[in-house]
Amino acid sequence: MKPRIDASQTRALSSWEEGLYLASEKSLEAGAFSSLYLKDIVNAVHAYGETMAITKGTVCFHAQESCYVHAPFICYMYVQKPVHYFGKHIHHIFVMGALNNHDHRKMLALISAFTMARNSSPPLNASSKARTWLINHMDTYLK
């Protein structure tokens, strides 16, 4: 399984919902998932809230296995001015979708490893460097 990986950045967002939609825009347009998956994610956020925040500055939006995911994907967005999410200031937004629970866990492991690497290497804040890091480490975490 090799997920589609998209990366982008923006100056500021008005809400975490805007971040969810903007971060995932390219993968949605490419057909990796349908817009109904984003509704599943919003419902999951309302149900589980801040548990999607990996660290105080990073959030990973995802939902349970869904028929609305057509291909695995990871989207990343760097936000220069943090967006507020359950009392946290978020600079790094991930949106991910997998076809099964096994791949879901593997993709979460890749994102967690990126978060640890980002904390020790601030230059990973640039979206192009983040995408390159994710692609270069994909084989290690997604076996």
Threshold 0.85, pTM exceeds: yes
Q: What is the pLDDT of residues 77-129, one digit of tens each?
A: 999 999 999 988 999 999 999 999 999 999 999 998 888 887 676 667 667 78
Band of residue 130 on the pLDDT scale cut at 50, 70, 90: confident
Between 143 and 90, the higher pLDDT residue: 90
Q: Residue range 40-66: average pLDDT? A: 86
Torsion of CA 74, 55, 83, 95, to 10 degrees: 10
**What's the fold here for domain 4-141?**
Mannitol-specific EII; Chain A (3.40.930)
Domain boundaries, the chain: 4-141
The H-or-E segment that residue 107 falls in is helix 101-120
